[in-house]
Amino acid sequence: MSISLIHYFDYKSPYAYLAQAATDSLEQRYGLPILRIPYTLDIPSYLGNAQLNAEGRDMVGTRNAHQWRRVRYSYIDCRREANRRGLTIRGPQKIWNTSLAHLGFLYACEAHHFQAYHATVFARFWERALDIEDQAVIRRVLQETGVCADGFDDFVSGRGTSLLETLQREAESAGVFGVPTWRVNDQLFWGSERLPLIEALLENSRPDHAP
């Protein structure tokens, strides 16, 4: 059975950050190229908007109590797993627009050199050490991780933005609504707890698998 595997991520999702090691492992263990596609979440549409001041007080005030409980639990949950792996997850103080960082990823992909950029953006963002909305900062990360960024500004102002919008529409047409999501052929799997199902599909697709 021929297998196509796509992974959708967003740099502002802590669950997507934690899913990267498993995604890399799938690719290595099964020798199957995984197409990674950025999917920019519209968090305010389902969790409300928020922005914290220096004292940790919300300056927007559109989240209800249920949404705040859900958000707080999510970060507790992710920090537990991050601590177990030696990773850092510090909750962001606002809901960031990750589109520029996603454009950087697409640009790095076209240079066939996305791995270092991808890992650096995820790690620094969750350490609160990266202004993910600053185009000059993203350009510097590209350069630092070995990607020639001479054409990045033109990419952002033209073809790259159109490409990102197209990928977003295609993902949503396929049923994607959150991250981390994996698409195996025409089947969607949302959340890392679905990885055993993905592995079972990949095992069954091996040429030496006995029916």
Question: How many domains does the structure of the chain reveal?
Answer: 1
Asked if residue 162 belongs to a domain, the reply is yes
Q: In this structure, what token pair is assigned to residue 112?
A: 């066939």
Residue 188 three-state SS: strand
pLDDT in tens, 111-168: 999 999 999 999 999 999 999 999 999 999 999 999 999 999 999 999 999 999 999 9
- Residue 97 maps to a domain: yes
Instruction: Name the least confident of 32-36, 56-60, 86-90, 133-137.
Output: 56-60
Q: Please give the residue range of the domain that contains residue 135.
A: 5-204
Query: Among 2-6, 53-57, 149-153, which is the least confidently predicted range?
Result: 53-57
Is 23 inside any structural domain? Answer: yes
pLDDT for 2 equals 81
- Residue 192 in any domain: the answer is yes
Q: What is the pLDDT of residue 111?
A: 97
**pLDDT confidence band for 71 (50 / 70 / 90):** confident
pLDDT bin (cut points 50, 70, 90) of residue 55 is: low
- Provide the pLDDT for residue 67: 83
* 209 in a structural domain: no
Q: Does residue 58 register a pLDDT over 80?
A: no
Could you tell me if residue 210 is inside a domain? no
Does 211 map to a domain? no
Residue 36 inside a domain? The answer is yes
Taking only the tens place, the pLDDT of each residue in 96-116 is: 999 999 999 999 999 999 999
User: What's this model's pTM, rounded to 2 decimal places?
Assistant: 0.90
- The first and second tokens of residue 204, run together, are 């069954």
State the DSSP H helix or E strand holding residue 99, giving kind and residue range, or none if neither.
helix 99-110
> Pick the residue with more confidence: 67 or 166?
166
Q: Which two tokens stand for residue 89?
A: 């997850």
- By DSSP bridging, strand 5-9 and strand 181-184 are antiparallel
Query: How far out from the chain centre does Cα 22 lie?
Result: 13
Please, is 116 exposed, middle or buried when counting C-beta atoms within 10 Å of its C-beta (0-12, 13-18, 19+)? middle
CATH code assigned at 144: 3.40.30.10
Per-residue pLDDT for 41 more than 70? yes
Phi, psi of 37 (to 5 degrees): -130, 125
